[in-house]
Structures are given as C-alpha cells and as structure tokens.
Structure 1
Amino acid sequence: MTFEVWAPRASRVRLSLGDEVLPMSPSEGGWWAPAAELSDLPDGTVYGYLLDDDEKPLPDPRTRRQPDGVHERSAVFYPGDFAWTDQAWTGRQLAGATIYELHVGTFTPEGTLDGVAEKLDHLASLGVGFVELMPVNAFNGTCNWGYDGVLWSAVHEQYGGPAAYQRLVDACHRAGIGVIQDVVYNHFGPSGNYLPRFGPYLKGGRNTWGDLVNLDGDGSAEVRRYILDNALMWLRDYHVDGLRLDAVHALADESDTHLLEELAKEVESLSAHLNRPLTLIAESDLNDSRMVTPREGGGYGLDAQWSDDFHHAVHVALTGETAGYYADFAPLGSLAKVLNDGFFHDGTYSSFRGREHGRPVDTDPMPTWRLVVCAQNHDQIGNRARGDRTAEHLDPSRLLCAALLTLGSPFTPMLFQGEEWAASTPFAFFTSHPEPELASATAEGRLAEFERMGWDPDQVLDPQDPATFESSVLRWEESSAGHHAQVLAGYQRLAALRREHPELTDPSFGRATVDEDRRRLTLERGRLAIHLNVGEEEWEIETSEVLFSTTAAVSADPAATTVRLPSGTAVLSRAPTTSRRPVTG
C-alpha cells in the first residue's frame, strides 16, 4: 500500500500509522507520500492523515475500510487477497435481464451482505439476472439508505465490510446472477465529509443535497479522477457487473467532455480488458435519451437509464392516486404513451414542474432494454409519508397487474425487495444521525417535501426513530402463506414466461391502445398481448390461449376462444390466428 494522498490545501501532512506518526513529503499536483517506503503492513492496520497542526487524524479519502466509523482512522485492506471462485463467470448483458433492487440492511433480519447471499435461491426463482444493491458506502450512523455516504470506496462496516462484499459478489456469480452497485457521485453526505479539508472537492452552488461536486472548476481534474477511480474499483477489484449512477441530473459539469461520457469511455475500455460486459445505468430526471445515445451519435454512451414515467403511469392506473407529480398521469392513455414512446413527458407540459419537460425518444434505433422500469422502487415507496407499499392499498389481482405490466413490457424490468410477495412491511425513509442538529434538519426537510405532495404531515414517520428502520425489515416468513404466496407464485410464473416466449424480451417497442372511457388497455407484443381492465365493466376479449391471468376469476380453459376480464384484472394471452384485436362489449 502506497499511502499517497491528494491534499493541495494542506501545508503539512503526516501519516498516523498504528502508534507512529510519520512525516510525508509533497510532490507535484498537491500529492503527498511518506518520506520512507512502507511495506508488509498487516491487513487491518489503522492509519489516517494529520493535516497541518491537527492532533486528530482524518480518514483516507480513498479508504477501503472504516472499522470504527467515518470519523475515525481507516484500516488497511488488500482486495487482491480474496480467493475468487468466479473464474468461469463471463458476465451478463442487460438486454433480456430482470433487475432486483434491495437494501442490505433491511433485506434480511441479519442486515448483512452474507445474509443477502443466503437468499440467492429465492432470487433465482424469480429469474433475476442482476441484483442491484442500494449504496453500501460508508456513512455516519448505523442505519441509512446509503445516499448520505462520505467515503465512497469503503463498504459500510455493519454490512460486513469489504470482505463480505467480495463474498457476496462471488456467491452471486456462482448462482448465475450479476451485481449492479448503486453509486452516488452527485453529492456527499452531511456528516463525516472531511474531503474539503484535503482539496477542492466541492464548488459553489447548491442542489437538493447541498454543495455541488467540483467537476469543472480549479482542481476538478483530480476530483474527476477520484470519481472515475471509484467506479473502476467496484468493477475491477470487486468483480461488480454494473453501476447504477444516482441522480445524474445533479452532476453540474460544463467541461468539454462531460463526466458521464468520460466514465462511459473508461468503463468500455475496462470491459474490453476484462472480456466481460460492464453496464452503466443512469437515474436521470431529464427524460432525455441522449444519456444512452452512443458517443459517436452525440450522446453520453451509457447503457441504460431509469424511466420514472412508467412507474407513475402504472401506479395511477391501478391506485387512482393523482396527487403531486402523479396528476399528469391520470388518463390511461399516459400508460399507453409510455409503452409506445418510452417517456410520457417528452417535451410535454409537466404540471408538477410548471414547465415543459423531456425530449422525444428516437424509438427506431433505440432498443427498449435501455429503459429500466418498475412498479415499485426505494424512492417511490420510501419517499411516501409512511413508506407504504402498494400492497397496502391493492388486492392481489391488481398487484399482479402491475407485475404483468412490468415483466411483460418492452423494457428492462426491475423489482424491489418484497414486492414479489406483497410484503406487509413498509420501506420507510430512515436515518441514524448522531448529531441532533442533523436529525432535526432531516425531519424538517421531510415535512417540507410532503407538504408539496399534499400528504398529511401527521402521517410522516420520524426517520430517526429506530422503530422506523425496524418496521422496514422484510418478514420472510410471510412469503409462504395466504395471499403473499399467491402473489409470489404469480411473479415466479411470469419469470418463467419471460424465458419461454421471446416476444417478452424482444427489444422492440410494443403497440399499446386504450379505450379511455372504459379504462381498458391492450399491449401487443408480437403474437402475445396484455389486456388490462381497470374500468368498472367486465371486458370480453378474443384469444386462442391464456398464458397468465391475475385472478382465478378469468377462465384459463385452453379451448376457450373468449375470456371475460372483471374490473382490476389482466391477462397475457396468445392472439387468435385470424385477429389480434380485442372484442369489446
């Protein structure tokens, strides 16, 4: 280990190593290194950096391990010491795959990475191609969503630390499952961020989370390198298969080459060297497919991006909720537009934003798998006042309608932990800030958000209350009983159908039509079709075979030529030879 550190703002840097304090020498560009060469240090040796006349050492900005929290010294960790068993793993492409998003701390009672590894058979039964981990980087406190991380290269110690992370990735690859890591490069958390003491990691301006990351000002070349090296670390040293890039719309970068374009280029180069696919997925609020347009075509060259419009349209169609940003999605036609065009807001007026939003997707050359969609995710559940899931409001048939639309859509489907069995537990927003002022500011910020959405502030859970976190831990025992087992069987059946029928993984946009007055939608996927009835009247459709039904109330008789869909139901059917059009009446 070299113990080199970038600290251009310091006039003196010393290395606190174990019980010793060693001098460091400056070099070109604001870097410092020990005056004497150090080698053969045991794994776990603690160290930190003393800047100027400080008496308390600061953690390494590039630390791999923080055994005592983000305010204390770092520990030596050698990622190359792990005995990998995934030599036969050749990676997995995103096209045709299903993603499963989870939060390590609430996915199992143990709340650890090793606990996640124990559930891989369950994920395989859902046809999961990638498990997507919410951020695991080091943050202050014990429980958190992870987006308040301050030491991006360290794995949160209570999850098991970096060695447990390697064990999980290795186990996933043995199970045939890839790993996508959620990373946050648009801001740092509010507690334990000592990076500005070292150098100009931040610049003037504000976003939702605080000061902007310095991507284009003085000293930004090293800040960009810090981000790029972090991304490559996950993919190279931890054998991760892809990264989900949090809120890329908050990356304020006026450089000639945007950070995302530079990242895509370096990851492409690493992928070629490792000889396996590496995937970059953007969470973007811009509704702009230039994120995934190849660089030679004027885009950033990322592989995929989230489409929140799909979630909003499905949610409104099945729940009828139209508060806040759901308002524009009240017509069922909004869902058809998303299915046909990729985005609903593609230059249209957004009443929530008070302006036109988005750009049209060029649906001819763009394969649909580049858009990642879901019926539930951590944001759309956790940013509600009580963290309540749709399972609290919908019956099993409507929950399976959402599953059918998600897994049967033209896009890359993503599931969120527990949705596959209609989990009764919420997924609330929880924090554990030790600082009272941060705890108060967090709670007040939540109240302001919910006021804009029109939700009752009395329903807002206190994110600092330990019960808020504890209530969000999945109860696995319920998955095998009652309506939970019914919903789980439906998800497993849909997973099997995706593998059996190429129409369901075809990367072409489908053809969706609606009867707005009767609240009926048909999505044609080649010779297959999804029929959704959210109106009040029963709907009779023509079919040659029902492959999946959200309720036993729909006849699944293979000899039947027509089936009747009650309100709140849907089917996946094979179209009759003579006609693919539904019979209305």
Structure 2
Amino acid sequence: MDTTIQPINYLNAGVTRQPDGTTVFRVWAPFRQVVALRLGDNDIPMNATGHGYWEAKVTDIQPGTPYWYILDEDLRRPDPASYWQPEGVHGPSFIAASNFTFTDHDWKGIAPEKLVIYELHTGTFSPEGTFDGIRQRLPYLKDLGITAIELMPVAQFPGNRNWGYDGVFPFAVQNSYGTPDDLKALVNAAHKAGLGVILDVVYNHLGPEGNYLRDFGPYFTDKYKTPWGDAINFDGPYCDAVRGFFIQNALRWLDEFHIDALRMDAVHAYFDSSAVHFTAELATAVRDLETRCGRRKLLIGEIDLNDPRYVSPPLQGGYGLDGQWVDEFHHALHALLTGEQQGYYEDFGSLEALARSFSDVYVYTGQYSVHRKRRFGKKPEGLPFHQFVVFSQNHDQVGNRLLGDRLSANLPVAALKLAAAAVILSPFIPLLFMGEEYGEKNPFRFFTSHSDPDLVKAVKEGRQQEFAHEGTAPDPQAEETFNGSKLSWNIQDETSAAILSFYKTLLQLRQSRPALQNTAREATTVYFREQSSLLVLERSAKEERLLLAFNLGSEVQSFVYENNGRLREILNSSVDAAPAKPPASGEIAVPPMSVVVYEIGSYGN
C-alpha cells in the first residue's frame, strides 16, 4: 500500500516567459467580475480560465516594464506574485530582469549533519546593507568555519528597514538589498566557496502595510488568530489556490535561486485541519524538486511545539521536515548563564533542564510547564540529533529583548566561551547569530520603516506596552535604532580577537573529530550532578571517544571518569597554556565557568 503523499499540480501565479517569446500574466481573483492587465496607458482584458484564475498573454514585453492589475474596472493593485517592486510596496510591479547565469553546476547541496549555520540580517550585517555586502565577506565566513549562511527574510517589506517578517510580497526581493540577480550572485558565490544558503520564509502571516492580497481573494481566514496578523487560509473554502501560491513560492526560491534550504518561520502557526497538512504537502513538493534537480533541498521549521510529528518521516505519520529549531536548548542554557527567570525562562534555570535537552532534545516531553500552565511536549524518540538546530543567540532571542542586548553585553568572556562550546560541540546542528563569534557589543534591536502614521504609532505603543515592566523600549521607527543595530566589525581589539580565535578552534574541532560529527542518539551519553554545576557529555564514534565537561558554576568542580580509558586534554577554555598532564585515576578538575575536552584513550597508551 502506497502511503506517500501525492503532489498536487497547482497553477503558477505571476509572470511567466514562454518558449515562443510571449509572456503570460496569471492572477488568482475568484470573486472579481472583471480583471485587466495595465501596461502603461493600455488596459488589456484578462480571460477567466477557471477556479478563479485570470490570464493574459502579451508579446514584445521587456524587463523593467511596470504593470498593475485592475480589479472590477476601478481598483488598481500590484501583482501578489510580483518578482520585483523597485518603487516599494505601494508602487507598480515590474517585469524583473533575469540576466544572471549560475556557474555552480558541481554543487549538490548540503547534508543536514554537515550544517553549521550562521544567521544574518542583510541590512545590518555589512556597512552596505546589501546582498553584495554579504558576498564580499564570504571569505571571512568560510575562514570562520561555518558551512551555511541563513538570510533573515528578504521578501519585499515596506520601507528599507525591517527584520523581514513584515513582508507583503513573498516572491519579490527586497529592493533596498539589491536585485533578484544580486541575490542569485550571492548564492552562486557562496556555493563556489563551499557554503550553503538558507533563506527564512514567512508563511504564517503577511505584514500590515502594502498587504493587498485581500483585494484578490480569500488568502486569509478569521477561523484562527496569530499574534502578528491574520492567519493564512490553509484549510478553508478556496484554500487550494492559497496553498499552491505558497508552495510555488517555496519552490521558486529553491529552484530558480538555487537556495539550499528554507527556514520556515513559526510553523506552529500554520493552522490546518486538512487531512494532509500544508507542511506535509510542501515537504512532498520539495522532495519531488530534489529528484528533478539532483540537489539536496532542506526544510527547517521554527516550531514552538515539542511535537516530533513535524520532523518525523511520512511513513511514520510525520510531516517530513528535515529539521527544527529548538528554543528550549537556548532557554535552558541562557537561564543558567544569566540567572534570568522571567517570562518563559521561569520553566528553566536548573542544570537538569540543560542535561535533559542534551539527552532528549526537548526539555519538556510531557511534564507540567509552569509558564504554559499545562503539560507540554512529547519525546522525539528515534530521530537523529542532526534534525535539531540549537543556539545560544539568534535574532528572536536577542532582538525581542527590551534593548536588543546580546550575551556579550551581560556576560564575561569565560561565559561567552562556555556558551559557544555548548552549542558548537553539541550533537545538534549549531547556529551562530551574526557577530557573536567575536563578541559583538552593538545590540540587535527591533526596527521598522513604515509610512502609515497610524501603523507607526501602533507599533511603537505596542512595543512599549510589551516591555512596560522593564523600561522604555527604543523607537522601532527611528533610523538610529536601525543604525545602532549594525555590526561594528570590531574584531581587532584583544578581547574580540580572543573570542574569535576560540570560535574558530571550536569549529575546527567539530569538523576534525569523528566523535563530534556523530549525530546518532546512542553516540552521546549525559552525566550531571545538580549540586555541582557540572555537566559532562561522552561523545563517541567508531574511531574515538571524547569527554566534554562543562562547569557552569563559580567554583572548581571535579569529576571521576569511571569507564575504561585514559584522558588526554585537548581543549580548555579557561587557559591559553599547553594541555595539562593526564589526570590521575580518571579524576578531572574543571575550572569555574569553563569547558574542558578530553580524548579518551586505551589503557597502555
């Protein structure tokens, strides 16, 4: 019996160039009586082709040509599937030029177990704030030791300053970052450097300003609510075209732009009661694309549900995602290092919570959560560790603080090194947030550049209300909030250079040691003693065994290794001196707020 999900062939919206030189314009507007394509001063009637789609064929149209859709003879709107909005979200759509030729023919994608992700925001990563600014710094990132960059959303948003989660044209590349060909050039250069590219996409809502999809059809539903805007209509009447719209979007980034993976924002807000969940249908479409293009394509979900169904194989009743962000690892580590216990951190703060995350991935696997006020989670049994992405910082966990302050603003260097080691030497996929590798001090704040005065006021007041108990929140609309969030690239001073050197050492260690590359569950054993602040991991592969000792306390802690094998120190975050002599009788002493890594050898060596 075939239990796989069969792909559905949806009609593609937007503009398509045909082999005969004609250009097809297609838009979904099921409730409109008349739809026309406006080119210059001419309105070209569009033909209804069934299921709510309208179509027009045009000859001799050139890249750079602006166009609009005219709905019921009086409502002028840009194309929901626009590829290019150089005049912003309220301007016309443009026929995008496509002159770039990829030269990454030998690139076959990247396996999940090889991922070391570097998350960045295009506008604040470089002084230029563009795709080209990222491309110029690819050699630095390659030298650092990461294997893939992750771009925060680049879909067209209002203005030129935004995190990207307020995008309203899912197919269009943000005009202040560069052209579609500039993004392709970045991907091509990354592949030439041996780096993968992950793109953050938002399929749970669209932003408020410039969101014209309601004028075309029922893209949204009142049946569900999200904290950020109306939920997408994945399971109501007319949802087939909506599902097709977003699946087409995902496939375009992965295929036309040669993107290697999508990080899907807030998948828990993909509300769908269909027999086949949208997430599963999307995963099936991506697997089909993999077969056609001969390259690995990945889907990684941000999911605020400790539910392994999302990353389980379809044959086991899962949705088939390749990976998942694990916020609970962050929460457990952050609460221990900072002592913070407010908000969702009230569920964390114990060494047991961090140990549980190292052993089970999720901290909550059915226990009662004080913060959620209910039992929460299920153990993800049988799933390899390389399906889970962990971090000590990311855009959410930094930017959604009152001041957008990073760990480097609050913790000593020893603690920063410890946090880095916990992430990079874990059996999971490590993710670094831009600048953390050298202890960047500039914050990463929440910023916008809306043009609607009422919306500007509402966002500012909402942000202040959210943090009323903590203090005054920076004005999201102020240009200085954005400029102050740019990386300083201050990597020359002694402290920054030392942190950067340690990150490189950790990443080189991960890449060179088989035990650190083994993501099988049975290859990691966790020991901890709550009272001692000492967490110990034994990681193994056929060729070697390593012992990793993390001391998250302020006093020296000892540990007796009772299994067979002598210990040889290969890393100590607390000193720059040569490795110490092998400890006697298997007893090790771990300095305060540090990590020590030992190679476990055979007796007689």
TM-score by length of 1: 0.94
Aligned to 1:53: 73
1:401 counterpart (418, 424, 440): 418
Aligned to 1:582: none
Q: State the one-letter code of the partner of 2:67.
A: Y
Aligned to 1:158: 176
Deviation at 1:161, TM superposition (A): 2.3
**Within 2, Cα distance between the matches of 1:450 and 1:353?**
20
Deviation at 1:190, TM superposition (A): 0.4
**Within 1, Cα distance between the matches of 2:350 and 2:460?**
34
Q: Deviations over 1:24-56 (max 9, x none)?
A: 22221111122xx3123211111111111326x
Q: State the one-letter code of the partner of 2:332.
A: A
Q: State the one-letter code of the partner of 1:524.
A: E
In the TM superposition, what are the counterparts of 1:408-447 in structure 2 within 5 Å? 408-447=425-464
Q: Deviations over 1:213-239 (max 9, x none)?
A: 111111100000001000000011000
**Within 2, Cα distance between the matches of 1:553 and 1:108?**
31
Question: How many aligned residue pairs are there?
Answer: 568
The unaligned stretches of length 5 or more in structure 1 are 580-585
The unaligned stretches of length 5 or more in structure 2 are 1-22, 561-565
- SS in structure 2 at match of 1:507: coil
In the TM superposition, what are the counterparts of 1:235-384 in structure 2 within 5 Å? 235-362=254-381, 365-384=382-401
**Within 2, Cα distance between the matches of 1:545 and 1:116?**
40
Contact 2:131 2:186 (8 Å CA) reproduced: yes
Q: Is 1:386 the counterpart of 2:408 in the alignment?
A: no
Q: Percent identity over the alignment?
A: 43
Structure 1's 356 and 503: CA in aligned 2 closer, same or farther, altered over 3 A? same
Q: State the one-letter code of the partner of 2:596.
A: V
Deviation at 1:169, TM superposition (A): 0.5
Contact 1:518 1:536 (8 Å CA) reproduced: no
**Within 1, Cα distance between the matches of 2:569 and 2:481?**
42
Q: Deviations over 1:524-570 (max 9, x none)?
A: 11211211112232124567322222221776235665664332111
Aligned to 2:16: none
Aligned to 2:534: 520
**Within 2, Cα distance between the matches of 1:9 and 1:71?**
22
Q: State the one-letter code of the partner of 1:105.
A: G
Contact 1:347 1:359 (8 Å CA) reproduced: yes
**Within 1, Cα distance between the matches of 2:527 and 2:84?**
53
- SS in structure 1 at match of 2:263: strand
Aligned to 2:13: none
Deviation at 1:83, TM superposition (A): 1.1
**Within 2, Cα distance between the matches of 1:445 and 1:172?**
38
Q: Is 1:213 the counterpart of 2:232 in the alignment?
A: yes
**Within 1, Cα distance between the matches of 2:568 and 2:41?**
74
Structure 1's 128 and 437: CA in aligned 2 closer, same or farther, altered over 3 A? same
Q: Is 1:467 the counterpart of 2:480 in the alignment?
A: yes
Q: Deviations over 1:89-139 (max 9, x none)?
A: 111111132011100000001000010001111111222111110000001
Q: Is 1:557 the counterpart of 2:557 in the alignment?
A: no
Deviation at 1:572, TM superposition (A): 1.7
Aligned to 1:491: 503
**Within 1, Cα distance between the matches of 2:216 and 2:568?**
66
Structure 1's 536 and 8: CA in aligned 2 closer, same or farther, altered over 3 A? same
Residues 346-355 or 464-473, more deviating: 346-355
Aligned to 1:42: 62
TM-score by length of 2: 0.91
Residues 222-231 or 503-512, more deviating: 503-512
Contact 1:398 1:550 (8 Å CA) reproduced: no
**Within 2, Cα distance between the matches of 1:282 and 1:390?**
24
1:569 counterpart (584, 587, 594): 594
Aligned to 1:583: none
- SS in structure 1 at match of 2:112: coil
**Within 2, Cα distance between the matches of 1:559 and 1:4?**
71
Contact 1:544 1:558 (8 Å CA) reproduced: no
Residues 532-541 or 175-184, more deviating: 532-541
**Within 2, Cα distance between the matches of 1:396 and 1:203?**
48
Contact 1:154 1:161 (8 Å CA) reproduced: no
